């Protein structure tokens, strides 16, 4: 067989890493199920309040109406508020806080971890001592203090969650940068005089991205649970409904209105489950070792 005949076969088999990762993700049933479920939840939270115009804070029917009775299919809570309206509006607030807190978590964690792993020495020691300080203090306790001091608003809650939950991302980013900084292509860039900012953000960070992307995805689910915990304790914006707030307010009446607690709890469970499935699928797709399983 001639070289010309072999070359097209090799080119046909050559697939870019991105396309290969997408292909692996699309062939993962659980990851696709999680992605579809997450998209449905996001679409319902974004467009649901526009299509279902009932206010989540207005008394629209008699209290303690069980599911299945018209006109409010999922029933009402202890004061007569519509559960469906609460789920749709509450999903918007919960997901906004979750995504915003996750972005802040990644921004702080990647910055701290990248600087510590790249420079090493006293920079690494100093930044890791700060990271360990945040690790030994309960996250929920710090977030509660921040919210109580600066007010229970959507912005404050998102900043509080993101400001205390970045330590895991920082350690992961540090480990990746410690591994990458001694590789040949990084040394080559350094030898031609590339500045540190280019080495960190344009040379090393793209190669450290796969595990950080997975960590970023999972941090959204953690932030959603965090927000639900704060809202359940009453540390949420009183002007906005959320899933955690719905559970917390209906807690004393759980034996009389189990649906007012069950449906918001189920929404939180399904959201975190969907995010976890997507994160696991990304891990399988972006990890070269797992692709060959």
DSSP string, 161-187: HHHHS-HHHHHHHHHHHHHHTTSHHHH
**In degrees, to the nearest 5, what angle opens at C-alpha 21 toward C-alphas 105 and 204?**
50
Is residue 130 included in any domain, yes or no? yes
Output DSSP code: residue 212: H
pLDDT for res 288: 60
Assess contact for 285 and 291: CB atoms under 8 A: yes
User: Span 200-225, mean pLDDT?
Assistant: 87
pLDDT tier at 175, thresholds 50, 70, 90: very high
Percent of the chain beyond pLDDT 90? 27
Band of the pLDDT at 1, cuts 50, 70, 90?
Answer: very low
Residue 239 located in a structural domain: yes
Residue-range definition of the domain harbouring residue 90: 39-291
pLDDT digits (tens, 9 = 90+) for 34-80: 999 999 999 999 998 888 888 888 888 888 888 887 777 888 888 88
21 assigned to some structural domain: no
pLDDT band per the 50, 70, 90 thresholds, residue 272: very high
What CATH number is attached to the domain comprising 118?
A: 1.10.3720.10
Task: Let me know if residue 183 belongs to a domain.
Answer: yes
Checking if the pLDDT of 88 tops 70, the result is yes
Provide the strand spans (E) within the chain.
none
* Residue partners of 19: CB distance under 8 A and separation at least 6: none
Q: Do residues 161 and 223 touch, judged by C-beta distance below 8 A?
A: yes
pTM, entire model: 0.84
Residue 31 counted as domain residue: no
Does 169 fall in a domain?
yes
Indicate the angle between helix axes 29-51 and 17-26, nearest 10 degrees.
80
CA 280 to chain centroid, in Å, comes to: 13
Count of domains for the chain: 1
Q: How many other CB atoms sit within 10 Å of the CB of residue 241?
A: 27
In a domain, 29, yes or no: no
Average pLDDT of the chain?
A: 85
pLDDT in tens, 121-144: 899 999 999 999 888 888 888 888
Per-residue pLDDT of 231-250, as tens digits, reads 888 888 888 888 988 998 88
* pLDDT, position 142: 87
The CA–CA distances, whole Å, from 44 to 37, 97, 271 equal 11, 16, 12
Classify residue 235: in a domain, yes or no: yes
């Amino acid at each position: 067989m001639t070289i010309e005949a072999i070359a097209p076969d090799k080119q046909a088999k050559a697939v870019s890493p991105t396309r290969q990762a997408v292909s692996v993700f699309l062939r993962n049933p659980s990851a696709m199920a999680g992605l579809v479920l997450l998209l449905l939840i996001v679409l319902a939270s974004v467009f649901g309040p526009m299509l279902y115009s009932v206010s989540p804070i207005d008394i629209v029917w008699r209290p303690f109406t069980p599911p299945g009775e018209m006109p409010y299919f999922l029933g009402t809570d202890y004061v007569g508020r519509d559960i469906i309206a609460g789920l749709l509006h509450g999903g918007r607030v919960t997901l906004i806080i979750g995504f915003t807190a996750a972005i802040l978590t990644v921004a702080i964690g990647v910055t701290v971890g990248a600087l510590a792993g790249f420079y090493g020495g006293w920079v690494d020691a100093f930044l890791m001592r700060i990271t360990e300080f945040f690790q030994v203090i309960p996250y929920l306790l710090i977030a509660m203090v921040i919210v109580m001091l600066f007010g229970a608003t959507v912005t404050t809650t998102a900043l509080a969650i993101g400001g205390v939950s970045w330590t895991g991302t920082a350690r992961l980013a540090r480990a990746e940068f410690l591994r990458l900084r001694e590789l040949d292509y990084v040394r080559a860039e350094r030898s031609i005089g590339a500045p540190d900012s280019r080495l960190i953000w344009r040379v090393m960070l793209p190669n450290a991205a796969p595990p950080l992307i997975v960590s970023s995805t999972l941090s959204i689910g953690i932030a959603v649970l965090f927000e639900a915990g704060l809202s359940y304790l009453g540390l949420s914006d009183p002007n906005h409904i959320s899933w955690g707030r719905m559970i917390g307010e209906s807690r004393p009446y759980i034996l009389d209105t189990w649906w007012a607690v069950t449906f918001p709890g189920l929404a939180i469970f399904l959201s975190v489950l969907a995010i976890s499935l997507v994160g696991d699928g990304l891990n399988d797709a972006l990890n070269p070792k797992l692709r060959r399983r």
